[in-house]
Structures are given as structure tokens and as C-alpha cells.
Amino acid sequence: MTRQLALFLTLTTLLLVGCNSSSMITAEELRKQNEADNVVSSVLFDHDVADVTSYKIQRDGHVILNFARSVDNETYTAVVLTLRQKNSIRGVSASQDGSSICALP
């Protein structure tokens, strides 16, 4: 019984320490992501590509966009340039169906 309790306590401690690792997002990183998310979703909606564009916002506010093949060159360029002008966006990279379009400047 003592052995099982020791094992349980050891595993519980390891799990709790793991939750305090660097993979946890800080309040500031969460604030940056939420702010960037609001901007990105608004810009995509304004350019009528919200339903054909996926995106990921990194911890530091960089945005990675993936446009569907149906999005024309003029539109994805306008979206990328608009996002790069926003203060809450640290940088933008984009691809179209997996092919790189706009790398980080």
C-alpha cells in the first residue's frame, strides 16, 4: 500500500510540474492572441474571405494564413498588406493551399 501511495504521489507531482512548463501561455500572450484574432477575423470578413481562409496566431502575435485556391492574388495581397499595417499583428506569413505566398518580412 505504501509503495502504491508513493507511486501515486510521484506521478501526481510530475503531472503538476508539467502543467507549469513553458508550454503554458501567459496572460500577456493570451491578450496578444485575442487582440490579433479580433483583427484577423475582421479583416478576413471585410475582404469576404473569412470562409475560405484559415489562420493561426502564434504566442507573440505573428499570424499564419492559409488561403484557399479560389482566393485571387489581389485579395490575398490586400489582406496580407492590411494585416501587416495593424499594430496588434507582429508579422504575417501566408500560403495558398500549402504553397508559400508571403513570407515574414
H-helix segments, 1-105: 2-18, 27-46, 73-84
- Label residue 36 by pLDDT band (50, 70, 90): very high
**Which domains does the chain possess?**
32-105 (3.30.1340)
Collapsed DSSP state (helix, strand, coil) of residue 23: coil
Taking a C-beta distance cutoff of 8 angstroms, is the pair 86, 80 a contact? no
How many Cα atoms are found within 13 Å in the side-chain-facing hemisphere of 37?
10
pLDDT tens-digit map of 54-102: 999 988 889 999 999 999 989 989 999 999 999 999 999 999 876 666 5
CA dist 70 → 22, 93, 97 (Å): 38, 18, 10
Residue 10 predicted with pLDDT over 80: no
Q: What is the pLDDT of residue 104?
A: 47
Mean pLDDT, the chain, whole residue set = 82
